[in-house]
Structure 1
Amino acid sequence: MEQCGHILLSAPIARLGDQVMASCIINQNCSHLVTEWRIVWKLEPELHPRERQQHLPNGTLQSTITLPHLNHSRVLLSCCLHWGNSLQILDQAELQAGYPPIAPHNLSCIMNLTINSLICQWEPGPDTHLSTSFTLKSFKSQDQCQTQKDSIPDCVPEDGQSHCSIPRRHLQLYQDMSIWVQARNALGTSISPKLCLAPMDVVKLEPPTLWALEPSPGVAPPQPGCLRLRWETWKPSLYIEQKCELRHQPRLGEAGWDLVSALPARTPEHELCGLLPSTAYTLQMRCTRWPLPGHWSEWSPSLELITAQRAPIVRLDTWWRQRQLDPQTVAVQLFWKPIALEEDSGQIQGYLVSRRPSDQAGAEPTLCDTTELNCTFQLPPEAREVLLQAYNTAGSSHPTPVVFLESRGPPLGRLHAIARDPHSLWVGWEPPSPPPQGYVIEWGLSPPSPNGSPMTWRLEHDGSIAGTLLQENIRPFQLYEITVTPLYQDTKGPSQHVYAYSQEMAPSHGPELHLRHIGKTWAQLEWVPEAPELGKSPFTHYTIFWTNTQDQSFSTVLNASTHSFVLRGLEPSSLYHVHLMAASQAGATNSTILTLMTLALEESELHIILGLFGLLVLLICLCGAAQFCCRPSRKYSLWPSVPDPARSSLGSWVPTIAAEDIFQLPSLRDPGMPPITKITVLEEEEKKPGPWESNDGSGTGSLSTLVQAYVLQGDPRVPSTQPQPQSGNSDQVLYVQVLGSPTGPGPEHYLRCDSTQPLLEGLTPSPKSYENLWFQTSPLGAPEPLVPHPEDDSIFEPLLDFPLLQGLRVSGAEGLGGF
């Protein structure tokens, strides 16, 4: 298939974004297959359908595609055919896109005499996405590059480099030449601006070499703050006129470079002054062609020198201590501190203490020569003055006289000291009168440390102050002895001492806890407070903790003035662990643990407690039984309840009628049936008929047995329309029987039960009018009683309005016999 076609491109290399056209030519021997196959163009990785396809006169088939915007710098274009289920490639062509080269810029050249070449460099510009070549072109010229003379071979840099060197053999060092850079790729060519120069005008020399100028016998040493140095120029540049620059900076610190310019190269020595004495400096130098044009050389390697010293310019503050060894000798311990008077006062290498003789003005015997800040020597008792000097290689400071004053001045008042923080102490006093010229403050550990560290001291020149803060050599939790001595014009005052801790510590141990008394439920504790310790913070409060065997903890806080405490609420015959914690502002500490056991109860006390407990249980049981029995729901389950008829309410006493308990009886008004609707028998016993009972057996038969029942006339499910009095007692029993016939003639019978309760204050046949509806209301408003007719042969009269019979639940009629 590869021999069937080939691709023709309008341009294999184009600008990015330009239009590109391509044609795929199918050979004559393969064109008959194209009718069955479909030509597809593939521009990786996308497929493009054919745009135009035509048959050429020579019998070949041509498919053309147009890419409107080529956005790939390098891409592969393929002409393909769909053959079956696969894609067959007929031909491939590579497309490239990019930009024309930008003219190079920043072209510069340097004549390097070390390699004898003219080195030129440039900036190539942005990437073109195409292979771009650079060429350095030049020619010799005259009249400031207006006339071209001899050409110079092109210089082609290596790939990826933007500099090139023209050898010395192609150059005329003092003749002008024109130089430019040409950039070329497939889309075009560009050149940089031309540079006109003579090689020696762009020469760059090598840096000189710096040396320290050694002192010579005939030359005086450098002054303090000065340096002497020399340099050696590069040998190939000896014939070139040059000028040099020198820069310097202190080796230590953050100071910048200071520049010294216009140093002639033909005078290779220089003295640099105005520097700090006894200070190390770093120096560097560079040179250039002068007065003709040229480039500065690189900075030379660094040279380090130390400036000359100067005699110390200091003030020496002094203090001393004297001790009589014997009648002819006094031991003196002299202290001093140097105070610089100027910024560059000179480095001190040592101190010299000498005695000024009284009879000779010239000789000064040396007492001490040391690098320390103190010295011990011996003097005769009559010696009152010595001299102190600081020195170095450049000389000595002005002598400082030290006069041993006698203590004849007034003392200080109320000297005191207090710690401000763990690393400082404030010492104060009341200035004496007249005020002194200054004070000497000394402080150190008390007692002195075993390593024998000296006392720290300070001289205060202001005599009006009343205190000062000591921050030097102060450590926490240490006891310091502080001494203050006032200084006057020709004398001094007596020294005053005070002791102070830099920071107080917590007490080392707490007071010991003791048991004084103990009982069954209490224990009295006491303790003896510790004596105050120097450097220990005093106690501010106590805390007592006690724990029982069940790991229950209790505590209480007491003030520091309390020395005893009583533990209450303890359990008899129980074990307790007690300890005391003493606290201060610096911390807290615990005392030893005290273990104690409370006393046990006696046998009589135990019996009393058990008896009281039994009585309490019995009382609780009686109260519970009384409450149980007095409850209304429980009372009548143990004995019957006798109701109060005056407050009875039968409707509230009778339970709600269930549907399954109701059975149909003929109406009481039916003449063929007995008038009884429902009968409930509560109690039955043999009894003689009373005088109020009827013995007529025509209507009732034989009533040999008193039936304690009640009879409800009418339908018990029909609620009463008459008002009924309400009563708070719902547990009521039968107290009346009503016998009668609703239809037959005869007297009605109102029977009373065996209740012992009085029935409405008498044996009246009917209740009062305010208790039932026995009395009917007449049209005139007067009540009309329903009096039974003596001729009625019926036992009962209809009592439909009797309130006690409304809603009555009747059962147990079998006890009525013939009723």
Structure 2
Amino acid sequence: MCSMFSRWNWVACGFYLVLNICSPDASGGLVQSCGHIIPESPVLALGSNFTALCILNESCLDFGNIYASQIIWKIKNKLVPKEQYREINRTVSSVTFNDTSSLATPLTCNILADGQIEQNIYGITVTVGLAPEKPKNLSCIVHQESVLTYVMNCTWNPGRHTFLDTQFRLRHSWPEEIFPDCIPKDVNNSCTITDIQFFVNTEIWVEATNALGKAESDPLVVDPIDIVKPLSPQNVSVSSGVLPTVLQLCWVNWISDAVMMLKFNIRYRIVGETNWMEVPSEDTASTRTSFIVQGLRPYTEYAFSIRCMKEDGVGYWSDWSEEKTGMTTEAQPSKGPPIWRIIDTSHSPAFWTVHLLWKALKPFEANGVILQYEVTIRDKSSPSSPVKKYNVTSTNHTLQLREGTYEVTLVARNSVGSSPPSVLLIPASNSKAPVKNLRTLPKHDKLWVGWTAPNSYVLKYVIEWCLVSSSSDCIIEWQIALGGVQGVDLKGIKPFKCYLITVYPLYADGQGSGQSVKAYLKQDRPSKGPTVQTKKVGKAEAVLTWNHLTVEEQNGFIRNYTILYKTIDGNETVVTVDPSKTEYTLSSLTSDTLYTVRMMASTDNGSRTGPDFTFTTQKFGKGEIEAIVVPVCLAFLLIVLLGVLFCFNKRDLIKKHIWPIVPDPSKSNIAQWSPQVPAKHNFSSKDQTYPEGSFTDVSVVEIEADDKKSFSEQDLKPFDLLKKEKSTSEGHSSGIGGSSCMSSPRQSVSDSDEGDTTQNTSSTVQYSTVVLNGYRDQTPVQVFSRSESTQPLLDSEERSEDHAGGADSTAQRQQYFRQNGGQDETNTDRPCFERTKQITHANEGDLVGFVQLQISGQSSQPLGLGMEKNTQEAAVSNVLQTCTEGQTVRPETVEENPLSVDEMPKSYLPQTVRQGGYMPQ
């Protein structure tokens, strides 16, 4: 009916065919498919050729336009190349595979109809595998399960994997009878036969079968009695014998002698060890149930085990029996304990502290329990000395001996007897030849120590070693080697630890000096690096210092130190240092630069770097600062010295400008000037500057307390007026030196002639008395003014002769004033100021700074502001003007360079006349 449809409707037609093929018919069965494949589910040999045919049914051909040319083949839904197709006829198509290795399942035949609609026609399952190989290596063993029960187990090699279901059968037969096959259950290479017969030859073979073929092994012909593996002896027991070197074994055999005769194998070992020893096979080659083992060590525990097999050696050994142990009895110790000594002479060279050390005997040497040790000391340097004996239970003993040669004998005792003696000679010195070429070599977990023997015959060697530690003493361990040995293995050596090893040769008449060497079983890199510091830092060098690492931190021999240093932005410089050094100097550094330095310690197995350390080089080198500072200091000292010399030469000038001498008025006698001609003066407070020529005379007077009566009240008023003038114009009055009559100041004098020789030239009086010329009938006015002259201080202490002649001196001064003051005013040669005593040297520039009126007495009366005041001020002014214009001052001594008015100091103090002629300041 598909032909009735147009080509565009092939989809519906294909769906119709599927329904016809897969839907049930009216009778309840399935409709026959449109084709099938030959062969149906084949089993193929791997690698062989294979051809399959797809045959279409005629009914399907009539139903629709389906032909063999439309058939396509697929393997697991993968299209087979069309080169492998072949169209045999209108209904048959074949596909050929040259190698079935690539063939997989399922293999399907499909139709590609018009419209490219693919429909599955038929499919088969393809199995690919191999034929079985011939089984090989067939072997059988008869196991004894009990006294009367035996089973035979056979094994073989099944060969290659066939990828197919392969069946193995174990077959056996007698010449006249074939027994049932034995089919393996779990594995394909083993099978057990329970029904066997001894003393009959049995043929045994294996047969393998699968879909591709069958194979048989070579037959095995054997009597089962010859392949028996008996049970091991049971109920083994061990008992000690009469001698300390034998043990007796007893056991039970599980196989009857009527079945077979047995031989045995006995092994034994010391408990705690792994090596087994065996009894010679010829001693146990006959059937037996007991055996005595000889040549054992006394007082030693042994473990025993036994096995058996057929006496003629045909068959298999039984398993080893359960281990049983037994101990031999005690015997006399076989050798003396090894003995050594350590001599301590630190307390006194004449007396020795001898530490005797010996090792406990091994069990096979002690042959029992050591109860005690007997130590005997003989002084060989003094044969008459008594022999000393000590019974010791420990393995060491300490003696106090004098310096000399001694022989020490040591014996170990147990319950049976004593050991042979061990002899140790303690010489006065190690005078014999030492060993040579002492060396070490690590060997796995042991350290081998070797040496070259001396030329002399050596009885034995003593090897000492101890763990070197920085925190505790070296605990010595030691062992003894025979004289013919030139190397031993030291056990118990730990890795990464330093050991000090010493070898002593012992001779018949003494011992040689010890030779020592340090060694490591295994080295590692240091656990930390050295910490470096600076000891001294200069401009271009730095001295670095560090401490050696402790023995525990080294973990090996330090081969070298490495110093690594650099600036912040510079390359790192590496310096290698000998390991014995603890100090190194870095040179060629840059001044005033920050450096970072670290240090590395290296062993044979690696290196470790310590922490970083920084330092800064100095800006100046050694001596540079001194080279700068010393010349500067010397130059400064030279300048100071020159300045001092200059100041010393110009001390007067400097003294005048910087610190003028101010005398202490309390220690001087105030001078008085007595005017001769009274005159009217103008003491106006507004006019502080006195005209030149108004002063007629300057004199130093001393006023006693009694002299105030000679002045009338009229005489005192001008003084009060001048005193008041001073107080109102003190700050801006000029000195007397400004007038021509005061250009030559005079020295002050004492109140007597003796004052000439007692005046102090180092101090001056800066006060003077200005005596004004009054009018004809007036009392002269005394005006006291401050003077800037450098007059020497008057004697401040009142001498007894001054008090005695005080009144007379005053009278004489007043008379002198009247005589000089009464001279004619027109005399131009008369000086303005005259002295009553000798005038010392004074500066010409000393001036009277201020005129001050001083009145002797208990009190002073203030002057009025009326007519009388004006009269007195006019009189003073006229006197000063007259003195300046018409007179010339002629002092006895005049200084060449007088000071100007501006250069004089302006310091004024008010003055009062005190009793006795002294002026307090």
TM-score range with shorter-chain normalisation? 0.3 to 0.5
More strand by share: 1
More helix by share: 2
> Which protein has the larger Cα radius of gyration, Structure 1 or Structure 2?
2
Structure number with the bigger relative contact order (C-alpha 8 A, sep ≥ 6) is 2
